[in-house]
Structure 1
Amino acid sequence: MAYDALVEYNRSPYDVDARALTFAEVYEKMLAERINSPKPPSRSTIDAYRVAFQHLTHLHSVRMADLRLDHLQGALDNSGLRYSMQVHVLNLMHQVYKYALKYDIVEKDYSHYAQINIENDNEKGVPFTDEFRKELAKLWERLAIPNTHTPHDCRHTFSWLCDKYGVDMFTKKLLMGHSLGTSVTENTYGHRNLEELRAELEKICH
């Protein structure tokens, strides 16, 4: 084994100490670098990283150099998380590997091959029936509301009110059921509890 390590080192010299870093240690270094960069990520993005990290406890003590696709895919498949949070976890994997490649901690980005194997459940809902839409149109007519609006305008209005009254962006996306993409939701409410969600919504009410 020592001979194999020497052969590998001669073929591609690397920092031995860096190769000994665990997933958790690389994560901390990545996060510190991003926070202290000229263009740091938003608070909600940092919070999202931290939440995702807590869902990868099985990887924390594993050396980055020893991680393989099976480790990453298993962490996703066995997490029991909804699609939106798995997107979040996968994004964190990408960020950690990006840092690890940058500083020669690993030679290959296995997160590139990991995938989410459950259905995207972010936008599920029950559509309005034709009868409901007709009754809604009658109601608008009685209230003298111009017949230029659609039910989807309710979402646009809520989004506008959130922006106008400074509702936290991460909370806004959680409440609207949006995927956070690369910036995603943990289970139903992410890392926000009900009191925190209420406090954000009350910005609109006041």
Structure 2
Amino acid sequence: MPKRKKHPKLPNGYGSIKYLGKNRRNPYAVHPPVTDYTDEGVPITPKALCYVDDWMKGFIILTSYKAGTYTKGDERDIDLPSDQKSLEIITQRLLADYNKAQGIVEEEKEPEKTFAEVYKDFWKYKFENEKGKKLSESSKLSIQAAFKNAKALHDRPFRDLRHDDLQSVIDNCPLKHSSLELIVHLFRQMYAYADIYELCDKDYSAHVKINKEDDDESGVPFTDSDLKILWDHKDDEIVEFILIMCYSGFRIKAYKTLEINMREKYFKGGVKTKAGKDRIVPIHSAILKLVENRLSSHGALLSGTLQIFRNNMYKKLSELGIEKHTPHDCRHTFSMLCEKYGVNENDRKRLIGHSFGSDITNSLYGHRTVEDLRSEIEKIKVCY
């Protein structure tokens, strides 16, 4: 059930507006200021001036009553604006006029910081302290790019932003999936910072999502001759893992958390997209021994940081005379091998973690067993 919205606190001596509960045509009772008390000093609530269907109407009636202009029945002639913002403006103006008439001087409030101003403070917090100085230049450039791509929010008061405002930036941005990820990440970080310094009421970035398929799939697969060289050096621990990636097709981050079932010989896991997560990929017989060696020697498929492995991979490829490839190119190699050796197209999508798009039949009902997928992946031939 939605919570009833909060209303401004009325000044002392202004009267009261009491909510009588739902299922009433006019659930708000508008009472004038208290003038009588019991012998024990308990205030006696005066008879209601009227009953209205909206708190704001009651507020207007009390203001009119305080000014001496209220006539019974005036509440029937009040028309309120439909949008909440206009109502809030009317409320603040009426309160300000009342306080001015009563000689009450309100504290001048500092204007709310804009998105751009909060970003500026966040930047100092993240990068201009001792911890921040250790962060990479690439991190700084990524955050700067994300901020630039959120231009629609720059001049908006940060506290006034809501989920729909943030989501709109993502939905309307024409850039690639990877750029959208940076924007969402910036939102998360800024709201974490804003929460520390009470610059927001809640984290409106929590449920912002990217509503487009991941298009960050550019890459160049290894050639047959490259693969032959790699298989010739399969005893090298760097090459070993490169081959595992080339014949299983996961993104490199996924190998940190993959479930490895050696009894039934399959991987389960994945990252990023809905289609890519928790998918099952049978372990190709050619890399089964490599996987066993890897688990025996390292206790995991991928140990250490991703960057350390990338650096080692680039160095090893150079030593072997193979043109530079990224870890993501291993995923493209797997896709290329599936296509080359006639793996069923729908099963190729399942193994790689690609969406079926508008193909509802395969998306919802195309269930395949591990052995079904194994028979497909084993079509890939390996030349040792």
For residues 17-36 of structure 1, the aligned pairs below 5 Å read 17=110, 20-36=112-128
| 2:139 maps to which of 33, 45, 48 | 45
Relative to 1, partners in 2 of residues 1:146 and 1:66: Cα closer, same or farther, differing over 3 Å? closer
Over residues 83-140 of structure 1, what are the superposed CA-to-partner deviations in whole Å (9 max), with x where a residue is unaligned?
1111111010111111211111111111101001111233466867xxx74x666x64
- In the alignment, the residues of structure 2 paired with residue 126 and residue 73 of structure 1 have an alpha-carbon distance, to the nearest angstrom, of 33
Q: Under a length normalisation based on structure 2, what TM-score does the superposition of the two structures give?
A: 0.34
Quote the Cα distance in structure 1 between the aligned partners of 2:212 and 2:114.
28
Correspondent of 1:61 among 130, 135, 155? 155
Do 1:23 and 1:63's aligned partners in 2 also have CA atoms closer than 8 Å? yes
Report what 1:181 is aligned to.
Answer: none
Q: Which among 297, 304, 311 is matched to residue 159 of structure 1?
A: 311
Separation in 1 of the partners of 2:117 and 2:233? 58
> For 1:114, which of 208, 213, 233 is the aligned residue?
208
Higher RCO, 1 or 2 (CA under 8 Å, sep at least 6)?
1
**2:181 aligned to which of 58, 82, 87:** 87
Separation in structure 1 between the aligned mates of residue 126 and residue 157 of structure 2, nearest angstrom: 21
> Would you say the 8 A contact 1:65–1:105 is kept in 2?
yes
Query: Could you say which structure has the larger radius of gyration?
Result: 2
Amino acid at match of 1:32: K
Calculate the aligned-residue CA RMSD, in Å.
3.9
Structure 2 distance, partners of 1:4, 1:78, is 34
Distance 1:147 1:23 in 2: 52
Classify the secondary structure of the residue corresponding to 2:206.
Answer: helix
How far residue 37 of structure 1 moved from its aligned partner, in angstroms, is 2.5
Shift of 1:30: 0.3
CA contact (8 A) 2:167 2:209 kept: yes
Partner in structure 2 of residue 105 of structure 1: 199
**CA 1:16–1:162: 2 relative to 1, 3 Å:** farther
Distance in structure 2 (CA, Å) of the matches to 1:127 and 1:42: 29
What's the CA shift for 1:147?
5.5
In the comparison of the two structures, how many residue pairs are matched?
Answer: 153
Whichever structure has more strand as a proportion of its residues is: 2
**Does the C-alpha gap of structure 1 residues 147 and 38 become closer, same or farther in structure 2, counting only changes over 3 Å?**
closer
Cα offset, 1:60, TM superposition: 0.2
* Counterpart for residue 71 of structure 1: 165
Instruction: Quote how far apart the aligned CAs of 1:22 are.
Output: 0.3
- Structure 1 residue identity aligned to 2:163: L
Counterpart contact for 1:122–1:177, Cα < 8 Å: no
5 Å matches for 1:133-172? 133=224, 140=229, 145-146=232-233, 148=235, 149=239, 152=242, 159-160=311-312
Sort the Cα spacing of 1:98 and 1:136 in 2 relative to 1 into closer, same or farther, 3 A: closer
CA distance in 1, matches of 2:205, 2:131: 24
Whose helix fraction is larger, Structure 1's or Structure 2's? 1
**In the TM superposition, what are the counterparts of 1:182-197 in structure 2 within 5 Å?**
none
Give the conservation status (yes or no) of the 8 Å contact 1:20–1:65: yes
Residue 219 of structure 2 contacts residue 328 of structure 2 at CA under 8 Å; is this kept in 1? no
The percent identity for this pair of structures is: 30
Instruction: Give the structure 2 partner of residue 185 of structure 1.
Output: none
